Structure 1
Amino acid sequence: MIDAFAGFMMIAGSLFIFIAALGVLRMPEIYVRIHSSTKAGTLGLGLILLSVTIHFQDFGITIRAAVTTIFVVLTAPVAAHVIGRAAYRTGIPLWHGTIIDELKSDETAVGSPD
């Protein structure tokens, strides 16, 4: 029963990572691509590491999986934010369907970068 649950978590995590890859390929512009890859990729990796923890049931592996999951959960949003901000500052245009440009108001409030 535990192996079946671990297998289900592995398949679910793989599906989320596949959805993240599809998002990178199919989304119209970099900002939406970053969003899809960060959210789905983080959840997919978390599910895969959960399945590894359930399958092996070893304390050392559990600690490594937990530390890796925490690291990815903390760093993936920051990396996505930095990449998105750099793309915006270098002038990569927003998608034509974008309604609100929150960074534009931030840039005018702070001042233009040197």
Structure 2
Amino acid sequence: MRPWSWPPSPSWGPLPSPTIWGRGGLSMMIVAEVMILLGALVLLISSYGTFKFQDVYNRLHAASISTSGGALLLGGGLSILGSLVHGKLFLKPLLIILIIFLTSPVSSHVVAQAAYRTGVPLVAHTVQDDLALAFLEWEQGVVEVEGEEGEGDDEADEPLAEALVP
């Protein structure tokens, strides 16, 4: 018996166990199916971005950001749909969303850091390499601690910035 076809009166027979969403209904089914379709669409666009972008850093951006959003929509829709159909809360999709939310940013950061340290080049139209600028400032001892006034002036930083811009 489907959740939206439950009898309106207890005199027609015993009701199945209610779901966490109440009796659900056709509208909740539609919301769950739309969430699943949108999640699949976001993940499809993400996979297209990983092939289309030119360097590893842009590919990582496309993959990690949209994977989190796509997994949220897809897992949320699956959890709602499973809860409506089977009459009990489905926690596995929610657990999978949590795992993806915790591991996706960390793994993309580790891959980007490894690519940068091994010297994977940026795409040609990249304007400025902020990490190289920060590393050079750190090597030269120009880095200021937050909250303290720096003893250097802005004119001393200009040759450093000009040396980094191609």
TM-score (norm 2): 0.61
Give me the whole-angstrom Cα distance separating, in 2, the residues matched to 1:54 and 1:27. Answer: 34
**Unaligned regions of 5+ residues in structure 1, if any?**
none
Root mean square deviation of aligned Cα: 1.6
Identity, % of aligned pairs?
A: 27
Greater helix content: 1
Residue 51 of structure 1: SS of its match in structure 2? helix
Report deviation, 1:110: 5.9
Give me the whole-angstrom Cα distance separating, in 2, the residues matched to 1:95 and 1:50. Answer: 36
In the alignment, which of 71, 77, 81 is matched to residue 55 of structure 1?
A: 81
Partner of 1:10: 36
Partner of 1:23: 49
By relative contact order (CA 8 Å, sep 6+), the higher-ranking structure is: 1
Give me the whole-angstrom Cα distance separating, in 2, the residues matched to 1:25 and 1:102. Answer: 25
String of CA shifts for 1:83-102, please: whole Å, max 9, x gaps: 00100111110011212212
Residue 4 of structure 1: SS of its match in structure 2? helix
Partner of 1:93: 121
Structure with larger Rg: 2
**Unaligned regions of 5+ residues in structure 2, if any?**
1-26, 141-166
Residue 28 of structure 1: SS of its match in structure 2? coil
1:41 aligns to 2:67 (yes or no)? yes
The 4+ residue runs of structure 1 with deviation greater than 3 A are none
Give me the whole-angstrom Cα distance separating, in 1, the residues matched to 2:37 and 2:118. Answer: 38
Residue 95 of structure 2: SS of its match in structure 1? helix
